[in-house]
């Protein structure tokens, strides 16, 4: 009976989650919550796909780790690539992000507080246009690019907190951890590893911490 709810109720239930309203967003233009509502309203299949995805996350107890509407953000380069700003990954890949969300819930959030998701699933065309690796973890929906919500989380405190958590428990989640510039970072559950801004393990800032 879960699917028989109003569009307004769907929007509310999918939008609001801990920290959702206070994020210092680095999201690309066209990927705000209001833009998400517009995308959701354009076609019934969008709403139905999000409902099914949310229900799968709820069954696994991870629907509130990051607001669901953020989990369907695609890439900051969606506009340049003539892609869509939001997309629900194929259902066959949902289990991948479940494991990643468990790592975020159990290890990342206790280390640095709530996070905002800026990028999740990228289809093959968008991934290629975004200069993603052919085997990018985003392609199979293992990966999320995240930023901390709290304004007092600096790059140094982010690195210290997340690297320590990754060293202690990352292997149990098969967690990958990468860092971009500023406070943007990447997590996935496609293999225990770490890397820095140039994509190599040698430049991972974690090497200075643990």
Tens of pLDDT, residue by residue over 172-200, are 999 999 999 999 999 999 999 999 988 89
- In sequence order, the 6+-apart residues with CB closer than 8 A to the CB of 69 are 14, 15, 33, 36, 50, 86
Q: Is the pLDDT assigned to residue 109 strictly greater than 60?
A: yes
| CB neighbour class for 21 (10 Å; exposed up to 12, middle 13-18, buried from 19) | exposed
- 133-175 residue pLDDT tens: 888 999 999 999 999 999 999 999 999 999 999 999 999 999 9
What are the backbone dihedrals phi and psi of residue 7, each rounded to the nearest 5 degrees, phi first? -60, -40
* Confidence (pTM): 0.88
H, E, C per residue of 73-115: ECCCCCCCCCCCCECCCCHHHHHHHHHHHHHHHHHHHHHHCCE
In this structure, the chain runs to a length of: 210
Q: For residues 183 and 137, is the Cβ–Cβ distance under 8 A?
A: no
Segment (H or E) for 169: helix 155-169
Q: What is the mean pLDDT of the chain?
A: 89
Query: pLDDT over 70 for what percent of the chain?
Result: 88
Q: For residues 2 and 48, is the Cβ–Cβ distance under 8 A?
A: no
Q: For residues 107 and 165, is the Cβ–Cβ distance under 8 A?
A: yes
Q: How far apart are the first and last CA of the chain?
A: 49
Task: State how far the Cα of 189 lies from the Cα of 168, in Å rounded to an integer.
Answer: 15
Q: Is the pLDDT assigned to residue 24 strictly greater than 90?
A: no
Structure tokens at 67: 């607001």
| CB neighbour class for 92 (10 Å; exposed up to 12, middle 13-18, buried from 19) | exposed
């Amino acid at each position: 009976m879960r699917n028989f709810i109003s569009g307004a109720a769907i929007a509310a239930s999918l939008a609001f989650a801990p920290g959702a309203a206070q994020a210092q967003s680095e999201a690309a233009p066209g990927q705000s919550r209001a833009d998400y509502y517009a995308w959701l309203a354009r076609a019934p299949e969008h709403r139905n796909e999000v409902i099914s995805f949310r229900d799968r996350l709820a069954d696994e107890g991870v629907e509130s780790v990051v607001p669901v509407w953020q989990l369907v953000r695609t890439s900051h380069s969606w506009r340049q690539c003539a892609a869509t700003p939001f997309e629900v990954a194929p259902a066959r890949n949902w289990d991948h992000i479940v494991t990643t969300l468990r790592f975020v819930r159990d290890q990342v959030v206790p280390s640095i507080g709530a996070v905002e998701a800026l990028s999740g699933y990228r289809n093959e065309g968008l991934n290629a246009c975004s200069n993603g690796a052919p085997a990018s973890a985003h392609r199979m929906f293992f990966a999320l690019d995240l930023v901390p919500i709290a304004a007092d989380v600096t790059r140094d405190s982010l690195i210290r907190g997340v690297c320590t958590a990754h060293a202690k428990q990352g292997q149990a989640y098969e967690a990958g951890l990468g860092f971009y510039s500023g406070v943007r970072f990447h997590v996935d559950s496609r293999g225990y590893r770490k890397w820095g801004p140039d994509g190599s393990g040698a430049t991972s800032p974690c090497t200075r911490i643990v």
